[in-house]
Amino acid sequence: MNIRRSTRIPPLVPVASMGDIAFLLIIFFMVTSNFIKEAHVEIDQATAPEIEVMKESQLSVTVDKDGNLWLQGQPCPVQILEEGVSALLAEREDKVVMLKIDKDVPNQTYGPVFLALSKAGAEIALVGTQ
């Protein structure tokens, strides 16, 4: 019995461009992930030209116009802010916390926030300078 073998060449999948595509996808998700954290928190930031701009931080605390406090885009009461920031800073080398405050928030509201961040050992970077 004569068995006929296939002489057909198997199709080749071009794998050279897959590395490029994977690299571009990684870059895309790294860039867009920082903008998604607090996309739902709306604040109208005050401007202060005399404040020195500090380096960027991946850890952020936001106080919106209603006085609500947000830690990394999640609602957080001021009573547990110190614990939350301390836990997040423990695993980081830099201790910079980006603080965003709506311009209409009274200082009685954000005063305890400064106190909690200081007790947690954070270096505060105010955002809203132009």
Instruction: Give pTM, 2 decimals.
Output: 0.56
What is the crossing angle of helices 107-119 and 81-90, to 10°?
40
Residue 51 pLDDT? 53
What pLDDT, in 10s, does the model give residues 73-112?
A: 888 888 898 899 888 888 888 888 888 888 888 878 888 8
Domain containing residue 95: CATH number: 3.30.420
Nearest to 85 by CA among 50, 122, 57, 115: 122
Domain count, the chain: 1
- Quick check: 121 and 95 in contact, CB under 8 A? yes
Whether 106 is covered by a domain: the verdict is: yes
Question: Would the pLDDT of 56 be above 70?
Answer: no
| Domain hosting residue 122, numbered range | 41-127
Instruction: Provide φ and ψ at 14, rounded to 5°.
Output: -70, 110
- Quick check: 59 and 94 in contact, CB under 8 A? no
